[in-house]
Structure 1
Amino acid sequence: MAFGGTLWMLILYLTIFIHLLLLVWGIYYNLARTHLPRGISRPVALILFNFLVGYGFVLAGILEKLGICHRYSIIRAICLFIPKMKDPKLIIRDLVFDGVPVRVYWPKTSPAGNRKGIIFLHGGVGLFASIRTSARICHSLAHGTDSVVMCVEFRLAPEHPYPVPVQDCLTAAIHFLKNAKEYGVDPSRIAIVGESSGGTFAAAVCQELVTREDLPRVRAQVLVYPFLQTVDFDLPSYQQNHTVPPLFRKRGVKFGLTYLTGKKINVDGILKGAHVPPVLREKYKKWISADNIPEEFKARGYVPKAPAPFSEELYEQVKRAGETMFSPLLAEDDIIRQLPETFILTCEYDVLRDDGLLYKKRLEDNGVPVTWFHVQDGFHGIMAMAGWRSIEFPSTQKCLQNVIHFFKGLYK
């Protein structure tokens, strides 16, 4: 008994010591490697939020190295502690659309058979997050737009790498469009909304659907700070915001490549552009170039850099990143010009800001109506905090309300 008690005390002390090391590392990382521009509101709150995120990822990485489970399983497990929301003004049901789990929210006040519909695709880089983590946004959209909201629980990498997650989204969207009337939705009034990587999926799904003459046409797409291209990680927003939390440039690319391949890849050469063949770089420069970014977005600093020498090995590892389901900005003009009316939200202090700006230009150049909202003090993920009063930022509700305002104007 004495030996057993001593062993448990050693384990307890070791656990405390590990957590103290993580705490010290987290404080050092936040102070030494992050940069918060003056324009960000509540910088201390963002530092604290990023510390908690980083702490979780480091702890998950330790458990992965110990062989207990992969790191993203830990993040997903933490998400399970988010309490399920109850709302007496909504009917909420978990269903399965052609093998894909979904959650559907019906406002009790909407007229049966003539409701508007929203397909919502959550963020998380195809690695984590879920229906549960996006519930508050879905509740707000259902109430604010008086729409039936369908949220997709797509499978996640690394167990199910690209293109499985986005194909799950496409499958669920097709089912909803085909069977809209069964859910009391007018099939001509359905929009697709995506936040972060969900915005990537939304853009990709809309592109896939434009050639489907057997389906109702999507009324609109709403892309909230989406990731849209893998050609240039040295655009002005990537340079200016590479150390702005929570989506650092290197962290974001690592996540994206894990979603793409299901494996860890050294991203240093990719950040320098060594993965893009010269012939493709030449093809895409008319769409993806700092020359297409308005000058006011270069004011915080931008230095043009030549890409690193091409690496055939890197290209072979990540060449599927050039597919339009992964990088929607690379779609041809004949697809772009058929896309529905679009709302794009960008944030000033987000590495992905310029992806949104470039897509906005491409859509406008091809005659697609675009409503654009730029959050001057925003950073990546700011809208995902909607409904979490304790961690909401001043512009969180502003983001959400602008999305809702777009929908109200869409169906006048």
Structure 2
Amino acid sequence: MRAAWVLLAAVAALSAYYVYLPLPGTVSDPWKLMLLDATFRVVQQTCHLIHYLRLSHHLIVLNYLICTFDKLKSVSSEDINITDAVFDGVEVRVFEPPAKRDERLKRSVVYIHGGGWALASARTSLYNNLCRIMAESLNAVVVSVEYRLVPEVCFPEQFYDALRATKHFLQPDVLAEYSVDPRRIAISGDSAGGNLAAAVCQQVSKDEHLAIRPKLQALIYPVLQAFDFNTPSYQQNMNMPVLPRYVMINYWIDYFNGNYDLAHSLLINNHTALDVSQAFSFRGHLNWTSLLPSSFKKNYKPVIQTTGKAEIIQEIPALLDVRAAPLLADNETLQLQPKTYILTCENDVLRDDGVMYAKRLENAGVEVTLDHFDDCFHGCMIFTIWPTDFSAGIQTRNSYIKWLDENL
């Protein structure tokens, strides 16, 4: 009996050691975040073991487990009509509030979900619930894009899926079918979906054949560049749940169908060293020493290698492709962007991506709202339902919807 108690105590101690992470004192619901992160790590490590044994791709297994767990959660909303459709070969889910007698045309949001270009779905409850709540709160038609995922396809296919679905929806006859006001359309997304939303918005802003363009773009903790993995937020939050730096780098490698052996070189910015000529013209677009406020720069120093590995860019040229990294866009493109909302979280490696994009857009003459949350973390906006319900999720979601309501 005594041995059993000793074993139990040892297991409890090891579990506590595995779960506990030193977090900033400002993080909301810290113990709940630690438990969520520990669960993620266990699942990810299991998936990597399955991948190592060559039983299946780790992202396929991970997505299956996420979607299986996600089916346990739902939010009722009987007033919203939900239909699945195909826009120019791309699956979408459309959320429509009930029509009211003598009602004017509705506003609309094209929403692109996050998940590292590899995980989640427009049909899972995390995003199904978010889009339902948006449709209800805004009395708007919400189009959620079901783009194809890694490893089924890699860049630029996710971008093309999102672009085709958006351009199809922007056609006058399609908008009329859904009773949408062509002057009141936003394009939005979170994380990797924010990446796709920003890239699509840049593309449609330059398309001379489009008569209708989005009025707004709203980007939620977007990932916008793979040029510098040592911005202050990457350094400050390198081990932060839910998105440590090494995980974000691996998502980029998977998106580009690259080799994991390149991860360390990317981490220390070897791919954008001073002797890598392909990166030279983009350096000014990502000079965080001039784009970030001092409160974000703190005492962090730039990591710029003198000599690096130009062969990385030769092997993965998409690292410097504006369609993958919208923060690299030139000023002429940025000037064409619509009124913009960018939500960032202090405890997030991607914080500075969003802040730098906001500053570059502002410098280009675009009206920008930067909505920063000191106590929130990456991905928090979709975590609003038990058992992954966070006060940070409700807080950010309400602020995001409030801005859309006031500006769309």
Q: Against the structure 1 CA distance between its residues 50 and 332, is the aligned structure 2 distance closer, same or farther, given a 3 Å change threshold?
A: same
Q: Against the structure 1 CA distance between its residues 184 and 112, is the aligned structure 2 distance closer, same or farther, given a 3 Å change threshold?
A: farther
Q: What SS is found at the alignment partner of 2:387? A: coil
312, 315, 320: which is aligned to 2:313?
315
Q: After superposing the two structures, state which structure 1 stretch, 22-31 or 248-257, moved more.
A: 22-31
Distance (Å, rounded) in 1 between the aligned partners of 2:38 and 2:264:
24
Q: Is the 8 A contact 1:26 1:55 kept in 2?
A: no
Report the counterpart of residue 7 of structure 1 in structure 2: none
| Pairing of 1:42-57 with structure 2 (within 5 A) | 42-57=29-44
Q: Does 1:395 align with 2:392?
A: yes
| Pairing of 1:71-220 with structure 2 (within 5 A) | 71-81=58-68, 82-83=70-71, 86-109=76-99, 114-131=105-122, 132=124, 133-178=126-171, 179-215=174-210, 216-220=212-216
Q: What is the one-letter code of the residue matched to 2:400?
A: V
Q: Against the structure 1 CA distance between its residues 331 and 23, is the aligned structure 2 distance closer, same or farther, given a 3 Å change threshold?
A: farther
Q: Does 1:404 align with 2:401?
A: yes
Q: Against the structure 1 CA distance between its residues 304 and 330, is the aligned structure 2 distance closer, same or farther, given a 3 Å change threshold?
A: closer
Report the counterpart of residue 302 of structure 1 in structure 2: 300
| Pairing of 1:238-277 with structure 2 (within 5 A) | 238-261=234-257, 264-276=260-272
Q: After superposing the two structures, state which structure 1 stretch, 201-210 or 62-71, moved more.
A: 62-71
Distance (Å, rounded) in 2 between the aligned partners of 1:335 and 1:406:
24
**Cα deviations across residues 44-75 of structure 1 (Å, max 9, x unaligned)?**
11110001111111111122222221111112
Alpha-carbon offset, residue 85 of structure 1: 5.4
Q: What is the one-letter code of the residue matched to 2:146?
A: E
Q: After superposing the two structures, state which structure 1 stretch, 58-67 or 123-132, moved more.
A: 58-67
Distance (Å, rounded) in 2 between the aligned partners of 1:25 and 1:283:
50
Alpha-carbon offset, residue 214 of structure 1: 2.8
Alpha-carbon offset, residue 27 of structure 1: 5.8
Q: Is the 8 A contact 1:113 1:181 kept in 2?
A: no
Q: What is the one-letter code of the residue matched to 2:142?
A: V
Report the counterpart of residue 28 of structure 2 in structure 1: 41
Q: Against the structure 1 CA distance between its residues 112 and 163, is the aligned structure 2 distance closer, same or farther, given a 3 Å change threshold?
A: farther
Alpha-carbon offset, residue 86 of structure 1: 4.6
TM-score normalized by the length of structure 1: 0.89
331, 334, 357: which is aligned to 2:329?
331
Q: What SS is found at the alignment partner of 2:272? A: coil
Report the counterpart of residue 4 of structure 2 in structure 1: none
Q: Does 1:350 align with 2:348?
A: yes
TM-score normalized by the length of structure 2: 0.89
Q: Against the structure 1 CA distance between its residues 272 and 360, is the aligned structure 2 distance closer, same or farther, given a 3 Å change threshold?
A: same
Distance (Å, rounded) in 1 between the aligned partners of 2:103 and 2:160:
30
Distance (Å, rounded) in 1 between the aligned partners of 2:302 and 2:142:
43
**Cα deviations across residues 104-126 of structure 1 (Å, max 9, x unaligned)?**
00011556660111100000111
Q: What SS is found at the alignment partner of 1:198? A: helix
Q: Is the 8 A contact 1:35 1:243 kept in 2?
A: no
Q: What is the one-letter code of the residue matched to 2:382?
A: A
Alpha-carbon offset, residue 285 of structure 1: 3.0
Q: Against the structure 1 CA distance between its residues 353 and 367, is the aligned structure 2 distance closer, same or farther, given a 3 Å change threshold?
A: same
Alpha-carbon offset, residue 379 of structure 1: 0.9
Structure 1 unaligned regions, length at least 5:
1-21
Q: Against the structure 1 CA distance between its residues 25 and 271, is the aligned structure 2 distance closer, same or farther, given a 3 Å change threshold?
A: farther
Distance (Å, rounded) in 1 between the aligned partners of 2:261 and 2:134:
37
Distance (Å, rounded) in 1 between the aligned partners of 2:93 and 2:147:
11
Distance (Å, rounded) in 1 between the aligned partners of 2:284 and 2:66:
41
Q: Against the structure 1 CA distance between its residues 160 and 27, is the aligned structure 2 distance closer, same or farther, given a 3 Å change threshold?
A: farther
Q: What is the one-letter code of the residue matched to 1:203?
A: A
Alpha-carbon offset, residue 334 of structure 1: 0.8
Q: What SS is found at the alignment partner of 1:92? A: strand
Q: What SS is found at the alignment partner of 1:117? A: strand
Q: Is the 8 A contact 2:313 2:319 kept in 1?
A: no
Q: Against the structure 1 CA distance between its residues 155 and 283, is the aligned structure 2 distance closer, same or farther, given a 3 Å change threshold?
A: same
Structure 2 unaligned regions, length at least 5:
1-10
Q: What SS is found at the alignment partner of 1:48? A: helix
Distance (Å, rounded) in 1 between the aligned partners of 2:328 and 2:197:
15
229, 232, 238: which is aligned to 1:233?
229
Q: What SS is found at the alignment partner of 2:242? A: coil
Q: What SS is found at the alignment partner of 2:43? A: helix
Distance (Å, rounded) in 2 between the aligned partners of 1:29 and 1:309:
38
Report the counterpart of residue 285 of structure 1 in structure 2: 283
Q: What SS is found at the alignment partner of 1:247? A: coil
Q: Is the 8 A contact 1:121 1:195 kept in 2?
A: yes
Measured on the aligned residues, the alpha-carbon RMSD in Å equals 2.2
Q: What is the one-letter code of the residue matched to 2:200?
A: V
Q: What is the one-letter code of the residue matched to 1:118?
A: V
Q: What SS is found at the alignment partner of 1:261? A: coil
Q: Against the structure 1 CA distance between its residues 395 and 212, is the aligned structure 2 distance closer, same or farther, given a 3 Å change threshold?
A: same
Q: Is the 8 A contact 2:201 2:214 kept in 1?
A: yes
Distance (Å, rounded) in 2 between the aligned partners of 1:351 and 1:109:
42
State, as a whole percentage, how many aligned pairs show the same letter: 33
Q: Against the structure 1 CA distance between its residues 187 and 274, is the aligned structure 2 distance closer, same or farther, given a 3 Å change threshold?
A: same
Q: Against the structure 1 CA distance between its residues 217 and 25, is the aligned structure 2 distance closer, same or farther, given a 3 Å change threshold?
A: farther
